[in-house]
Structure formats: structure tokens, C-alpha cells
């Protein structure tokens, strides 16, 4: 006789199953039935925790993304920014990034779902890393104090996301990453003086 899993143990099994489904089938192929079968539970147990497939998809993506968030410290703001964009570009152009692109495509017509993705996808953590990067630049007298602002911190990643969303390319060329840093981000930082 098997013991019935509850609470955190069941939630972990569901997230692991959903993450496996995302890796194998992408968001488009992930179904609640397949996740339930893989997790060894029923759909009701899933729906009690996640009200719809998209919410589960986002949670499973976050589960996949729980690896340590990069936080480069190259000694210069330019070096840090390029390293962060290069790492993000590498991730987004990987099979892991294909999952995120599938989620974004599915959520494009649903503002509430996009808000949920922003809230739960790790974007806030990424913004904090960029803000910390700016604060280090301020401490090195490389940037004015007013540059350590959430909107400034979010700009490079928003531009990288736009490259993927608007151009539909599998990876963003490195020269575009350099342009984002040299032509937009660093002038924005300097302009906050």
C-alpha cells in the first residue's frame, strides 16, 4: 500500500512532472492529464494549487529556473551588463528558453497571465540583480546615484526580450547585445546625472 502524498511533497511531485512535460513537449504539449499521470495524482489535486494550465506552466518553468541567478562582478558596469545579457541570451536560446518563449506566446493575449508570469517567473529577482549591479557602479563612482533606479535596471532585459518577441529569432547576435549596452543602457545611466 502506498502512502498518500500531501502538502509540499505532492506539490514537488507535480512541479517535477510539469517541468518534465515542459522539457519534453513544450508548453503547447503540456496537459493537466499528462502531468497528473506523471505525478501519480489526479487533476483535482493540481487544480487546487494552480487554477489553470498556464499557472502550472509558469510554476513549472520557475521550478526549472531555480538554479542560481547569475550575478557577475567584472569590475565595470559595461562588463557586468554584457555578461548578464550574454548569459540571458544563452539561456533564452537554449531548450530551456524555448519553454519560456512558448509560455510568452501563449500569454500574449492575456494581460492577467502576463502579470502572473512577471510576478512568478523570476523577473523580479533579475531586476534586483541589475539594480545591485548599478549600485556597485555607483559605489565605484562609475555611475551617478540616480542611475540606481528600477526602470533603468529593467531596461537591458526588456530590450533583449523585445529582440526575441519582435524579431522571432532563435538567438540574439552578440553585436546587438553590445549595442543594447553601449548605445542605450550606458547612455541612460550617464544621463541620470
Least confident of 44-48, 63-67, 103-107, 143-147: 63-67
How many whole angstroms separate alpha carbon 171 and alpha carbon 164?
Answer: 7
How many whole angstroms separate alpha carbon 52 and alpha carbon 43?
Answer: 11
Q: How many CA atoms lie within 13 A of 58 on its CB side?
A: 22
Whole-structure pTM over 0.75, yes or no?
Answer: no
pLDDT tens, residue by residue, 115-137: 777 666 556 677 888 999 999 99
- SS3 category, 187: helix
Instruction: Select the more confidently predicted residue: 175 or 5.
Output: 175
How many whole angstroms separate alpha carbon 22 and alpha carbon 100?
Answer: 10
Q: Which helix (H) or strand (E) holds 117?
A: helix 111-120
Instruction: State the cell numbers at 160.
Output: 533583449
How many whole angstroms separate alpha carbon 25 and alpha carbon 17?
Answer: 12
Amino acid at each position: 500500500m502506498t502512502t498518500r502524498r500531501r502538502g509540499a511533497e505532492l506539490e514537488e511531485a507535480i512541479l517535477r512532472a510539469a517541468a518534465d512535460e515542459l522539457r519534453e513537449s513544450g508548453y503547447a504539449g503540456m496537459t493537466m492529464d499528462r502531468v497528473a499521470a506523471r505525478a501519480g495524482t489526479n487533476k483535482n489535486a493540481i487544480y487546487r494549487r494552480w487554477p489553470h494550465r498556464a499557472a502550472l506552466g509558469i510554476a513549472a518553468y520557475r521550478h526549472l529556473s531555480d538554479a542560481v541567478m547569475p550575478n557577475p562582478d567584472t569590475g565595470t558596469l559595461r562588463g557586468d551588463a554584457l555578461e548578464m545579457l550574454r548569459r540571458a541570451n544563452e539561456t533564452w536560446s537554449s531548450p530551456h528558453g524555448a519553454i519560456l518563449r512558448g509560455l510568452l506566446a501563449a500569454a500574449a493575449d492575456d494581460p492577467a497571465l502576463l502579470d502572473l508570469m512577471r510576478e512568478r517567473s523570476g523577473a523580479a529577482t533579475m531586476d534586483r540583480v541589475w539594480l545591485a549591479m548599478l549600485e556597485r557602479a555607483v559605489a565605484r563612482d562609475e555611475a551617478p546615484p540616480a542611475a540606481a533606479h528600477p526602470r533603468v535596471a529593467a531596461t537591458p532585459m526588456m530590450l533583449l526580450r523585445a529582440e526575441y518577441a519582435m524579431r522571432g529569432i532563435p538567438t540574439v547576435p552578440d553585436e546587438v547585445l553590445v549595442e543594447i549596452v553601449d548605445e542605450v543602457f550606458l547612455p541612460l545611466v550617464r544621463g541620470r546625472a
